[in-house]
Amino acid sequence: MTNEQRVAVVTGASRGIGREIALRLARDGRFVVLVSRSAGPLSEVKALIDDAGGASAVCAVDVGDSGAWQGAVEKIAQERGRLDILVNNAGITRDNLVLRMSDEEFDEVLRVNLKSAFVACRAAARAMMKGRFGRIVNIASTSGVVGNAGQANYAAAKAGLIGLTKSLARELGGKGVTANVVAPGFIETDMTKDLPGEVRDRVLMGMALKRLGTPQDIAAAVSYVSSDDAGFLTGQVICVDGGLTMC
Ligand code: NAP
């Protein structure tokens, strides 16, 4: 790693969208810190990055554990001497209709999908402001923009991410730090693999592009939003959804 190399933290980097974002940012020349709960899969992603001549490190932590997660972000910034890019991508679903949804299902989704992002942004903002450069990219969902039956907890968390991001954009803009949301539509990952056929067909019918997205589609958007070139883009919600919501 050179002194000039930008340091990026990507949560949920062990698989799916986060893995692809991590690979893409490494190809973009970033030093990428790979975060999830499982060290094994993260090491496999690290090996891919190393083989391609990139640079990365593994950080196994539960982002839902606020104390441990805050400590991890502070340690990364301290050890690397900088923190330039933060991609809050880790997420879970606990789907249920509101009338059947338990407090636990609601709280867990809010904790992992929303509070973890708040904790990381707060910890990272200090290092970003010091460097007078920062790119915060929060991965929400079109569910957080237009809602989704059976996902009140998830949609609330993702809508919360949008409010968090816009507030960060206003608070940190004067220090060279941007904050944006990338909101994926339906993307082919473990999260959507059990989607019933009729739901998949209905979704496809409503999409201008008539195909589900790929993790690469999302990684390409994150690559731009986190780049030095995107310095005039902040407080935005970029729906990468094949024309599903046109939000
Ligand atoms: P995925 O394949 O299920 O992967 C989720 C990632 O989050 C994994 O790397 C997982 O790693 C990590 N993770 C989950 N809980 C964690 C925790 N407590 N601490 C640390 N890491 C944790 O999901 P995906 O489809 O790639 O989704 C990625 C993001 O995009 C999520 O925020 C999701 O809401 C959003 N999104 C996805 C879609 C879609 O269609 N797939 C659509 C809209 C938005 P470990 O299990 O190893 O910890």
pLDDT of amino acid 93? 97
3 state SS of 179: strand
Compute, in angstroms, the gap from residue 3 CA to the centroid of ligand 1. Answer: 31
Cβ atoms of residues 136 and 118 within 8 Å: no
Judge if pTM exceeds 0.95.
yes
* CB of 151 shorter than 6 A to ligand 1: no
Cβ atoms of residues 34 and 16 within 8 Å: no
* CB of 12 shorter than 6 A to ligand 1: yes
* CB of 194 shorter than 6 A to ligand 1: no
Non-local (6+) Cβ contacts of 90 within 8 A are 11, 12, 18, 35, 36, 63, 112, 113, 116
Tell me the CB-side half-sphere exposure of residue 236, using CA atoms within 13 A: 15
* CB of 63 shorter than 6 A to ligand 1: yes
Interatomic CA distance for residues 59 and 39, integer angstroms? 7
3 state SS of 111: helix
Closest atom, ligand 1, to C-alpha of 143: 43
* CB of 207 shorter than 6 A to ligand 1: no
Q: Residue 6 gets which letter from DSSP?
A: P
pLDDT of amino acid 122? 98
Cβ atoms of residues 67 and 116 within 8 Å: no
**Over the chain (247 residues), what is each successive 10-residue block's mean pLDDT?**
85 98 99 98 98 98 98 98 98 98 98 99 98 98 97 98 99 98 97 92 96 98 98 98 95
pLDDT of amino acid 1? 53
Closest atom, ligand 1, to C-alpha of 41: 47
Cβ count near 216 (within 10 Å): 13
Interatomic CA distance for residues 80 and 161, integer angstroms? 27
What is the set of active-site residues?
154
pLDDT of amino acid 81? 98
* CB of 88 shorter than 6 A to ligand 1: no
Closest atom, ligand 1, to C-alpha of 212: 40
3 state SS of 85: strand
Compute, in angstroms, the gap from residue 230 CA to the centroid of ligand 1. Answer: 25
Cβ atoms of residues 165 and 138 within 8 Å: yes
Compute, in angstroms, the gap from residue 222 CA to the centroid of ligand 1. Answer: 15
pLDDT of amino acid 196? 93
139 strand-pairing partners? 182
Spell out the CATH class of 7-239.
Answer: alpha beta
Compute, in angstroms, the gap from residue 66 CA to the centroid of ligand 1. Answer: 17
pLDDT of amino acid 247? 84
